[in-house]
Structure 1
């Protein structure tokens, strides 16, 4: 990376909060098609600077990004996908370690395993900035075990939710411990990978059924959506889309395990643990980069 590219990359990351504010403005007002000036004002930038920063992050213009938020786009993409999940399940995982195509390695931990060793397990956690708002990430010595988003600026609420899930362990606030993974996840949108990277290790704590659903989510191609019914069929439970939906909702590692790629068969985007607006933003970002 050249000095100029490094400076621009650092400039991008310094504007995560501004990008997040602009994305909220786009998602909230997509039906009114907000102007470049309105979006720039939400980011507290000049229109020229905002356009440059946003395009460097998303790969497309803010106006083009807004087009990917619409219901019509979601319905068209869902209708066109057909058996995309079946194909993805056969192919498996591959690709560079970036937000739009993360390469991960999973390790399962049953509830019994966790209960037996919870007291001796150290989990380090920290809050990090991202273009989708503040994110809370946590890791055991074996890998990342938690990724959630702060809703409406309520950091205490995000921490409380995390504590409810992992409170039996020895918890240490240590943002430095999760900074490298946060940088790979949230810092990779602007620049292409310079080469193969090691897989991001994930520690999944859940029932066998939940883990099976989460592993299926990992195989949904970036920029694509599947319905709850299609996902249920893919995991061998076509009669139980509600149970599959509940497992999707319990996903402990948001974004990396892309539960946001599951929507209603009608194309309506709903039911995201960390906010429907954020889900729409994630889908629009991925669809935009895939199209670009």
Structure 2
């Protein structure tokens, strides 16, 4: 049975699709609300509770013109100003330190038989997720749109011989605080990742993209020290094992288009707009 948060996200996702597909016609609040079978009042309130801004404002953050302007303004200094997003107090993401540790060959050879993995299911603003951790950090986070056993099966394919326990541990709890409004509860988030040195370098570079900002595959490749290797970088981005925490959703096409995403372009749009709105809200409050 769906939770209210899951139902609300599905409605929001449907409304985002509708607004994007009909943007040229500038649909009214009433038309957007009717599309998801809500009254204008309830739709506006639900959307603002989720995003912090109105549907119309949210859509502006997803426009190609807005994306192009962000890429133009941020291109030269984006990574130099990593996490310096202009947010104040406990809301500043540069206070959040995410440490990446690569697994040793011994930890993932033979299907990860030396690993003990805890896993649990949780809600997020973008749908249900499965999150898994070793004693060293988060090793997997993915959106669980299908049945729980299917999401767990995908995890077990990566580490078929690991020992699994369904339990919420402190490592998972700390990481999940990133979906909240108050980041003061966040401690150091640790990631324990299976990947080649090249992949881990790309994932570490992704972590330097500030909340609410965007970059391109070529920009990411250049900053990671692999200029001209956009295709290989794109493959590494697509192989990101930790959704949202490693922000591969902040990489878009050079044209300003959102582009594809492992868990759907609508969810990618939702993340980009949600983060842009949060950045503006915190900046205005500072």
Same topology, TM > 0.5: yes
Aligned to 1:137: 131
Aligned to 1:198: 187
Distance 1:40 1:134, change over 3 A: farther
Three-state SS of the structure 2 residue aligned to 1:252 is coil
Aligned to 1:5: none
Counterpart pick for 1:68 among 49, 61, 64: 61
CA distance in 2, matches of 1:73, 1:145: 34
Matched, 1:168 2:161: yes
CA distance in 1, matches of 2:127, 2:172: 15
Q: TM-score by structure 1 length?
A: 0.80
- Deviation at residue 240 of structure 1 after TM alignment: 1.0
Tell me, yes or no, if the aligned pair for 1:85 and 1:234 is still in contact at 8 Å. Answer: no
- Deviation at residue 41 of structure 1 after TM alignment: 6.1
Distance 1:173 1:43, change over 3 A: farther
CA distance in 2, matches of 1:66, 1:36: 12
Tell me, yes or no, if the aligned pair for 1:97 and 1:197 is still in contact at 8 Å. Answer: no
Three-state SS of the structure 2 residue aligned to 1:124 is strand
Unaligned runs of 5+ in 2: 282-286
| 1:145-224 mapped onto 2 (5 Å cutoff) | 145-151=139-145, 153-175=146-168, 180-181=173-174, 183-186=176-179, 188-189=180-181, 192-193=182-183, 195=184, 197-224=186-213
Aligned to 2:76: 83
Three-state SS of the structure 2 residue aligned to 1:277 is helix
Aligned to 2:239: 250
Three-state SS of the structure 2 residue aligned to 1:120 is coil
Tell me, yes or no, if the aligned pair for 2:132 and 2:139 is still in contact at 8 Å. Answer: yes
CA distance in 1, matches of 2:205, 2:177: 22
Aligned to 2:109: 115
Counterpart pick for 1:26 among 15, 20, 23: 15
CA RMSD of aligned residues (A): 3.1
Counterpart pick for 1:279 among 265, 268, 274: 268
Residue by residue, what CA displacement relative to the aligned partner does 1:206-234 show, whole Å, maximum 9, x if unpaired?
A: 11111111000000011111111111111
- Deviation at residue 116 of structure 1 after TM alignment: 7.0
Count, aligned residues: 273
Higher deviation after alignment, 99-108 or 248-257: 99-108
Distance 1:185 1:44, change over 3 A: farther
- Deviation at residue 38 of structure 1 after TM alignment: 5.6
Tell me, yes or no, if the aligned pair for 1:25 and 1:39 is still in contact at 8 Å. Answer: no
CA distance in 1, matches of 2:141, 2:45: 29
Q: TM-score by structure 2 length?
A: 0.82
